[in-house]
Chains A and B, each alone.
Chain A
Amino acid sequence: MIFGIQDPWVAVAYLLSFCGALVCVVYGVMQWNRGDEPVKPEDVQWAKEEKEEIEEAL
């Protein structure tokens, strides 16, 4: 019995959920200041078209 939970399989799911969130935080923080890819003109072009499309749809 862990934390009042009868089945170890359920307790493991509880722990893995918690650990998953923790791993995500650690990973995100570790990556925070790691270098980045440069933004390409195609990225900006894509975003411009996306914006136009949203505005048209409205």
Chain B
Amino acid sequence: MELFTFAVVIVYLLAIGYLGYQGYRQTKTAADYLVAGRNANPVVMALSYGATFISTSAIVGFGGVAANFGMGLLWLTVFNIWMGIFVAFVVLGNPARRMGHHLDAHTFPELMGKRYGSRFVQILCALIIFCFMPLYAMAVIIGGAEFIGPIFHISYDAALYLFVAIVAAYVIAGGIKGVMLTDALQGTIMLVGMVALMVITYAKLGGFSPAHQALTDLAPRVPPALAALGHQGWTSMPVFGWAASGAPAAEASRYTLWWTMVSTVVLGVGIGVLAQPQLIVRFMTVKSKQSLSRGVAAGGVFIFFMTGVAFVVGALSNVYFTGHETIRCQIVEEKALLDPGADGNSPLARVAPDAPPAVLARSKPFIAYRLPGDRPEQPLNYLLRTPSTAIARGGNGSPDSIRPGLIAIARTVTLGTTMKGNSDTIIPRYVNSAFPKWFSVLFLMTLLSAAMSTLSSQFHTMGTAIGRDIFEPMVKGNTARTVQITRFGIVVGLVAALILGKMVRGNIIALATAIFFGICAAAFLPAFLGGLFWKRMTRPAAVASILAGFLTSVFWSVCINAKTAAGLGLCKALFGKATLLTPAFSATWAVVDPIVVALPIAAATAVVVALLTKPMPRAHVAYCFGGAKPAE
């Protein structure tokens, strides 16, 4: 079977490679349509945009978050469609395209640099992109690796290398930028995979309303640790509120989930999409305003079936895991003890037979088993054993079976994870467990498509950031080595994403994506919107706004936001305490995402500084908005 899967992957890669090659030969890149004066099919255009927008991060990472937090995550789909498609295409798309073409800008930093007549602005934007985009690329790569591992029965590290090798081969062999038909083919595969995932999931769980009802009925199974953070069930929003300053920790933590879901995930990603450099450039490759308007139709439907399905299916996987899952396997040990460490939150490790009584007392019971196809040298699989777990021994050569009866996140608790589990593995586990093998292969194609189309534009953006936007302005027009520097940038981005992917694992995909989107929104959005729509916007205002948004975002992440401050540890190292938040302030501030503070500060800075500084030369502003180029 693995041979079959492998063969399908090879055929798929060859097909993508062939289409890419044909794309160049027959002049079918997005730019070619424009050169030839023809219209790219708007459905092809929108699918290609959607494939760049949606990655494994949205499907695997945020799908897993929905499995953990519930269907309230659908608010992100609302933002994805209304902001990421409707506002982006209808309001921002055409002005960005017009200005990009008129100023002859080919990257986002170049657009900003030319609009504000400032090499510094261009380099600043490019530096932020180059330093932080690997975080997003890492999230996309982890999303693929978490799925590939179980399919090929290989370790996470091996899956990471395999996935990066496939993507690197694709990017190096020509998938570097938007051959529209290739992207559209990938978009189509994604659409087929996700529609099938939705239909089969609802059919398996008894239909539309019964499936939701079953999920609603699971509310009493919310683990106490999540309930303490405000989880009220998978078809309810978490508890909303704002802790009074000095309120006890338990009161303050009750609102953690709501603020994480709404401020980090929904606002961070939902608004951040408007300032994504690799997406803004896509608008420039569109022929006309009409193409953009037509593209809205396919774009809206595409995003609905991507994120909407991922979040609904993610949440519904709880119904499958608790009531429908049966694992056919060979049970090796019915009560294997794993130790969560003295703090109860360390990676689970096997307990030695002669372990001290304290370790035995805190250890948790697991079932150790092998799946059909697992090789003897592979580590065993471990499943948390609870009173809901049922075991049936096969005998006479037939396999044993286990009904885990666990909610999705508890189902991911295993050797090497903490007792909190790993939400990044929920969607891969669900697809591999609930669906026949052929569907896992189709879904693998879906994820490969999602990852490749996004990563190719990410790596291109990182490469041009260092080549075209940092190196070229510094050497003032000496472009001979730009191509080599761009390629170097791509390799550095790829290696950085791989190293990050190896360093961190577990509940990280959605967080890393949200951090990058949040930084882009806070740093770029006011200056970008001001540049497009406000003639009074000035160069110092743009610089001040980018710096204010970026620095506030970083300061908040490093010193205030409890999760990121603890994870980074910089605040502790610099100031000797985990966070700079004092009891005089509400503890809820610690769970508010940087974007909530940084974006308004950046926007206010842009407006105030613009009004306090001298307007840009009239001739330059007129040029930016379609007039003739002023004499140097």
A-side residues, CB < 8 A to B, are 1, 3-7, 9-10, 13-14, 16-18, 20-25, 27-29, 31-32, 34-37, 39-40, 42-51, 53-58
Contact = CB atoms under 8 A, between A and B. Distances in A.
Given A5-B216, A28-B296, A31-B296, 16 more contacts: A3-B212, A4-B210, A10-B71, A13-B74, A20-B78, A20-B81, A21-B304, A25-B301, A34-B290, A43-B101, A46-B100, A47-B32, A47-B35, A47-B285, A49-B106, A57-B460
A50 B107 CA distance: 10
A45 B103 CA distance: 11
Tell me which of A10, A29, A56 has the highest count of chain B C-beta atoms within 10 A of its own C-beta. Answer: A10
Interface in B287-332: 287-290, 293-301, 303-304, 308, 312
B211 interface: yes
Name the 4 nearest CB pairs between A and B, nearest first. A24-B300, A28-B297, A4-B212, A4-B213
Given A6-B235, A7-B236, A28-B295, A46 B34 contact: yes
B86 A23 contact: yes
Contact of B106 (A4, A6, A18, A53): A53
Contacts of A36: 288-290
A21 B303 contact: yes
A31 B29 contact: no
Contacts of B100: 46
A34 B300 contact: no
Nearest to A43: B101
Interface of B: 24, 29-35, 37, 42, 70-72, 74-75, 77-78, 81-82, 85-86, 90, 100-102, 104, 106, 174, 176-177, 208-216, 219, 232-233, 235-237, 284-285, 287-290, 293-301, 303-304, 308, 312, 460, 463, 468, 483, 486-487
Tell me which of B208, B290, B300, B308 has the highest count of chain A C-beta atoms within 10 A of its own C-beta. Answer: B300
B213 A17 contact: no
A44 B35 contact: yes
Contacts of A34: 290, 293
A24 B176 contact: no
A29 B211 CA distance: 33
Nearest to A33: B290
A42 to B, nearest CB: 5
A5 B293 CA distance: 34
B297 A37 contact: no
B29 A54 contact: yes
A57 B288 contact: no
B28 to A, nearest CB: 11
B430 to A, nearest CB: 20
Contact of B81 (A9, A21, A31): A21
B49 to A, nearest CB: 12
Nearest to A11: B235
A39 B34 contact: yes
Contacts of A22: 300
Contacts of A16: 78, 82
Contacts of A3: 208-209, 212
B484 to A, nearest CB: 10
Nearest to B85: A24
Given A49-B106, A51-B35, A20 B236 contact: no
A38 B85 CA distance: 24
B303 A31 contact: no
Nearest to B293: A31
Contacts of A17: 74, 77-78, 81, 304, 308
A22 B233 CA distance: 29
B133 to A, nearest CB: 17
A45 B297 CA distance: 29
B482 to A, nearest CB: 8
Nearest to B304: A21
A6 to B, nearest CB: 5
B210 A24 contact: no
B517 to A, nearest CB: 19
B331 to A, nearest CB: 35
Given A27-B297, A44-B34, A50-B31, A57 B104 contact: no
B74 A14 contact: yes
Contact of A28 (B78, B215, B293): B293
Contacts of A51: 29, 31-32, 35
Contacts of A28: 42, 293-298, 300
A9 B106 contact: no
B315 to A, nearest CB: 9
Contact of A23 (B104, B215, B300, B486): B300
B542 to A, nearest CB: 23
Nearest to A32: B294
A28 B298 CA distance: 8
A35 to B, nearest CB: 8
5 contacts: A10-B72, A16-B82, A17-B78, A21-B301, A25-B301
Tell me which of B74, B75, B290 has the highest count of chain A C-beta atoms within 10 A of its own C-beta. Answer: B74
A30 to B, nearest CB: 9
Contacts of A37: 288-290
